[in-house]
Amino acid sequence: MARVSRWLVAVPMAALALATVYPLVFTTNVALKTRREYVLDRFSPADSPRADNLSTAWNSVGLARYFANSLIVVLCAVALLLLIGSMAGFALGRLRFRGSRALFLGCLAALFVPFQVIMVPLSRTLTTFGLIDTYPGLILAYVAQFLPFTIFLMASYYAHVPTEVVDAARIDGNTLFGVYRRVMLPLGTPALISVGILNTLFCWNDVLIALLVMPSAEHRTLMVGVTSLRGQYSDDIPTFAAGVLIAAVPMLVIYLFFQRQIAQGVTAGATKG
Amino acid sequence: MPTGSTPAIDPVPRRATRRRNAERLAPYVLVAPAVLVVVVLRLYPLVLGVNFSFTGDGDSDGTAVGLDNYVTLMGDPLFVGALRNVGLLVALLPVAVAIPGLLATFIYLRVPGHRIFRSVYFFPAVLSPVIVGAIFTLLLAFDGPLNALLGSVGLGPVDWLGDPDVAIFMVVGVHVWATFGMALVVFLAGFATLDTSLLDAARIDGAALPRIIWHVIVPGLSRTIQFVFVTTMIGMLTSMFGLLYVMTSGGPGGATYLPEYYIWIQQGQLNRPALASAAATVLFLVMVVVGLLQVSVLRRSGRED
């Protein structure tokens, strides 16, 4: 592109970049204002930025409780996803055994079954096992939802590990489980980090599955909690904004530190698929 | 399917045979938990749900009612409206793909600031639809900042989320705002595999940018474009619930219903799981049809080039 036209393109792109960031900047600013300040002027920077709204949202609104709920569920679900997903990914991506092809295709097929389509029967099944409105129920629902994707990514990662690596480890006297634990898990670290972060994002950000599986007020996850704020604080926008900000911060931190891994995970499906 | 348990037949098993047996079963043990979860909680429910859609709700729970639920769906203005909105999404799909595609092209061609653009554009993609929805509910409120801004330059207030003709476009627009960074990153990964010699040749010949895009970039990235089309459509059909739930609750007057929201209302609020299952089956069919159509259309256009 010619020099001038490059800049002609860069200006609207910069405007778009601003439009991408501004809504969150605006929300942050509102969260630091008093109600009075907000009503008087919505855009001006907060006079004396105060954390009052944040502590109100955290304590009296109950976001602390919801935050803990989310943390428990997300940590357990991601740990299980990585364990089960890497075991299956190793077996389906690197080993050839009777039925392995069919099992892999079965997992791929599950990738194309969206949650909405199975949510009625799934909630019935979970009710049957007494898992509705329990932590294990939601953890299991998340594992089921994101496992096919996890297996797919781990299998395509392990498929690139040379066969010699597995053979050498077996000649050294390792059983298959030994190969998995001593060779495949350490080798898979980059993929595990990438998949783990993506799964953390998916689980943390979900609202539909949490609403369906863990509906009671004391069991609300953070995202379900934020949706309930809307009605309660419709006349106290700064507190509402503070709650939204608290819920967004963990993923923003993850984005700042792991941007590359997230992008790798997102693109893995496109380039390997 | 083989199970993970080892039958103990030999009363005095020699360690070597036992170990060989265990080794033969090892792959199955490794996949067993995954297969169990996927089959019981993903594939079996699909079958169960389709079956379920042919039974009744309430008093006729469990009894076969044939296609009654589907007839009810087609007579429900909310569901028909949801399908009409799906049509709108399909119509808007090329725009939702072209925006990140074009931006990725400019970033690939290194416009000034391309590094910053790349990471800034991606950032809303990590935010939950709930967060995004909540922020835009603030911004788009009738007495909110956007209307205040418009008012200060003399433009009348618009009821962004309360006007049935406007609300659906707002929700889709916010969805695109929140997700175009994902598609952008996928496009950039595609560009990394693009054959640069053709691009260089076109540039030396002095071809204009639109011609380069149409004759070099689009054919070169056909697989990536196809992937983005399919994933964007799936995203529009299955990950807008959070936005709808927070921003409009399907309103005003059902104007922003999508099938996934309809399923949620019937199952979670109105206790009509069989009807919800029928709607879910329709949604699944829509997704299969749209996916196959897109793949075949793109494949044909790829062949003509």
Domain parsing of chain B, residue ranges: 1-52, 68-304
pLDDT at A135: 95
A182 part of a folded domain: yes
CB contact under 8 A, A271 and B144: no
Burial of B188 (0-12, 13-18, 19+ CB in 10 A): buried
Question: Which of A239-243, B5-9, B109-113, B287-291 is predicted with the least confidence, judged by mean pLDDT?
Answer: B5-9
A226 to chain B, any CB pair closer than 8 A? The answer is yes
A242 part of a folded domain: no
How far apart CA B247 and CA A230 sit, in angstroms, is: 10
Q: Which of B135, B177, B186 sits opposite A27 (nearest CB)?
A: B135
Q: pLDDT class for A71, splitting at 50, 70, 90? A: very high
- 8 Å CB contact between B202 and B219: no
CATH class of domain segment(s) B68-304? mainly alpha
B258 to A255, B232, B244: CA distances (angstroms): 30, 15, 8
Q: pLDDT class for A273, splitting at 50, 70, 90? A: very low
A83 part of a folded domain: yes
Of B283, B240, B253, B261, the C-alpha closest to B166 is B253
Q: Is the pLDDT of residue A147 over 90?
A: yes
B101 to A128, B48, B123: CA distances (angstroms): 47, 39, 17
Structural domain for A261, as ranges: 65-235+248-272
Average pLDDT over residues B95-123: 91
Chain B residues close to A14, C-beta within 8 Å: 113, 117
pLDDT at B4: 44
Residues with Cβ within 8 Å of residue B245, at least 6 apart in sequence: A207, A208, A211, A227, B130, B133, B261, B264
Q: Is the pLDDT of residue B293 over 50?
A: yes
A6 part of a folded domain: no
Give how far A164 is from chain B: nearest CA, Å. 18
ipTM confidence: 0.89
How far apart CA A125 and CA B167 sit, in angstroms, is: 36
A202 part of a folded domain: yes
How many domains are there within chain A? Answer: 1
Q: Which of A17, A100, A113 sits opposite B42 (nearest CB)?
A: A113
Mean pLDDT, all residues of chain B: 85
Q: Is the pLDDT of residue A59 over 90?
A: no
Spell out the SS3 assignment of A220-261: CCHHHHHHHHHHHCCCCHHHHHHHHHHHHHHHHHHHHHHHHH
Element (H, E) at B215: none
The pLDDT tens digits of the residues spanning B6-65 come to: 444 545 556 667 777 777 888 999 999 999 999 999 999 999 899 888 988 877 777 888
How far apart CA B290 and CA B288 sit, in angstroms, is: 6
| DSSP characters over A188-221 | THHHHHHHHHHHHHHHHH--HHHHHHS-SGGG--
How far apart CA B305 and CA B295 sit, in angstroms, is: 16
A84 part of a folded domain: yes
The pLDDT tens digits of the residues spanning A86-133 come to: 999 999 998 888 888 999 988 888 888 889 889 999 998 899 999 999
Q: pLDDT class for B305, splitting at 50, 70, 90? A: very low
A24 part of a folded domain: no
Task: Find the residue in A nearest to B180 (Cα).
Answer: A20
pLDDT at B1: 42
Of B247 and A229, more confident: B247
pLDDT at A185: 93
- 8 Å CB contact between B298 and B225: yes
CB contact under 8 A, B111 and A6: yes
Average pLDDT over residues A190-204: 93
Q: pLDDT class for B298, splitting at 50, 70, 90? A: low
Task: Find the residue in A nearest to B231 (Cα).
Answer: A270
Average pLDDT over residues B248-269: 89
Of A208, A113, A115, the C-alpha closest to B288 is A113
Burial of A74 (0-12, 13-18, 19+ CB in 10 A): buried
CATH number at residue A79: 1.10.3720.10
CB contact under 8 A, A99 and B26: no
Chain A residues close to B1, C-beta within 8 Å: 99
Average pLDDT over residues A60-74: 91
Q: pLDDT class for B5, splitting at 50, 70, 90? A: very low
Percent of chain A with pLDDT over 70: 97
A244 to A23, A43, A170: CA distances (angstroms): 12, 18, 52
Average pLDDT over residues A202-226: 92
How far apart CA B191 and CA B210 sit, in angstroms, is: 17
CB contact under 8 A, B42 and A16: no
How far apart CA B161 and CA B168 sit, in angstroms, is: 8
Question: Which of A89-93, B140-144, B254-258 is predicted with the least confidence, judged by mean pLDDT?
Answer: B140-144
Chain B residues close to A271, C-beta within 8 Å: 189-190, 193
Mean pLDDT, all residues of chain A: 88
